Amino acid sequence: MSWPTSDAVLGPFFSSEAMARTFCDTARIQAMLDVEAALARVQAAAGLIPREAAPVIADAARAEAFDLDQLGQAVLAGGNPAIPLVKALTARVAARDEQAARWVHWGATSQDIIDTGLVLQMRDALALIEAEFDRLGDRLALLAEEHAETPIIARTLMQQAIPTTLGLKLAGWLSALTRSRQSLDALGPRVLVLQFGGASGNLASLAPDGIGLSAALAEELGLALPDLPWHGQRDRIAEIGAALAVLLGSLGKLSRDLALMAQTEIGEFSEPTGDGRGGSSAMPHKANPVACARIIAASSRAPGLAATLLAAMDQEHERGLGGWQAEWEALPDLFRLASAALEAACFIAEKGRFDIERMRANLALTSGLVMAEAISTALGRKIGKAAAHRLMERAARMAVEKRRSLRDCLDADPEIAPHFNPAELDALFMPENHIGAAPEFTGRAVAAWRSRQS
Nearer to its own copies, 37 or 368 (CB): 368
215 binds its own copies (CB under 8 A): no
* Residues 161, 162, 167, 169, Cα dihedral to 10°: -20
- What CA–CA distance (Å, rounded) separates 239 from 334? 12
Closest CA to 444 of 170, 164, 252: 170
Q: Is 214 an active-site residue?
A: no
Q: Name, in order, each residue with C-beta under 8 angstroms of 224's C-beta and a sequence gap of 6 or more.
A: 189, 192, 193, 194, 218
117 binds its own copies (CB under 8 A): no
Residues between 282 and 311 that touch its own copies (CB under 8 A): 282-290, 292-297, 299-308, 310-311
Contact indicator for 248, 217 with CB cutoff of 8 Å: no
Binder of its own copies out of 229, 388, 420, 428 (CB under 8 A): 229
Pick the stretch among 50-58, 124-132, 317-325, 421-429 that binds its own copies (CB under 8 A): 317-325
Binder of its own copies out of 43, 53, 61, 81 (CB under 8 A): 81
Residues between 325 and 344 that touch its own copies (CB under 8 A): 325-326, 328-330, 332
Could you say which of 28, 41, 181, 319 is catalytic?
A: 319
Binder of its own copies out of 40, 44, 60, 68 (CB under 8 A): 68
Q: Name, in order, each residue with C-beta under 8 angstroms of 251's C-beta and a sequence gap of 6 or more.
A: 295, 298, 299, 341, 342, 345
Per residue in 87-97, is it b (16+ CB within 10 Å) or e — as a string? ebbbebbbeeb
Q: Is 16 an active-site residue?
A: no
405 binds its own copies (CB under 8 A): no
Binder of its own copies out of 146, 316, 357, 424 (CB under 8 A): 316
Burial class (CB in 10 A: 0-12, 13-18, 19+), 366: middle
Contact indicator for 133, 342 with CB cutoff of 8 Å: yes
Pick the stretch among 115-123, 125-133, 135-143, 152-160 that binds its own copies (CB under 8 A): 152-160
Binder of its own copies out of 135, 155, 360, 404 (CB under 8 A): 155
Query: Residue 307 — φ and ψ, nearest 5°?
Result: -65, -40
Residues between 232 and 261 that touch its own copies (CB under 8 A): 232-236, 238-239, 242-243, 245-246, 249-250, 252-253, 255-257, 259-260
- Kindly write out the interface string for residues 171-190 of this chain, putting x where it contacts its own copies by CB under 8 A and - elsewhere: xxx-xx-xxx-xx--x---x
Binder of its own copies out of 47, 64, 157, 418 (CB under 8 A): 157
Contact indicator for 170, 142 with CB cutoff of 8 Å: no
Residues that bind its own copies (rule: CB under 8 A) add up to a total of 190
CB of 369 to its own copies, least distance (A): 4
DSSP state of 432: G
Could you say which of 277, 280, 397, 452 is catalytic?
A: 280
Closest CA to 270 of 341, 358, 182: 358
DSSP state of 315: -
Q: Which amino acid is at 442?
A: T
Residues between 33 and 62 that touch its own copies (CB under 8 A): none
CB of 249 to its own copies, least distance (A): 3
Residues taking part in catalysis: 280, 319
